[in-house]
Amino acid sequence: MKLLAGRAPDHDDMVALWPRCGFSDARAAVDAYYLAYPFEEHDRHLAAYVQQIADLAVGGGS
């Protein structure tokens, strides 16, 4: 839901939640997103955005 909302505060929340989410990688998270929201228009940048979230969560950067 946070990924769908896309509000600025949600980014930091998603970084904090990433280690607890259980996705094996960003692609798995994006696939789950489109399964949950099948009518959303596909965004070619979404996987890169989710990868950035995962990288920040693992690396602890901002």
pLDDT in tens, 9-26: 999 999 999 999 999 999
pLDDT-derived band at 61, boundaries 50, 70, 90:
low
Q: Which tens digits make up the pLDDT trace of 26-51?
A: 999 999 999 999 999 999 999 999 99
Q: How far apart are CA 15 and CA 20, in angstroms?
A: 10
Q: Which helix (H) or strand (E) is 13 found in, with range?
A: helix 8-21
Q: How far apart are CA 55 and CA 60, in angstroms?
A: 8
pLDDT-derived band at 60, boundaries 50, 70, 90:
low
pLDDT of residue 12: 94
Please name which of 56, 48, 3, 2 lies closest in space to residue 26, comparing C-alpha atoms: 48
pTM of the model: 0.86
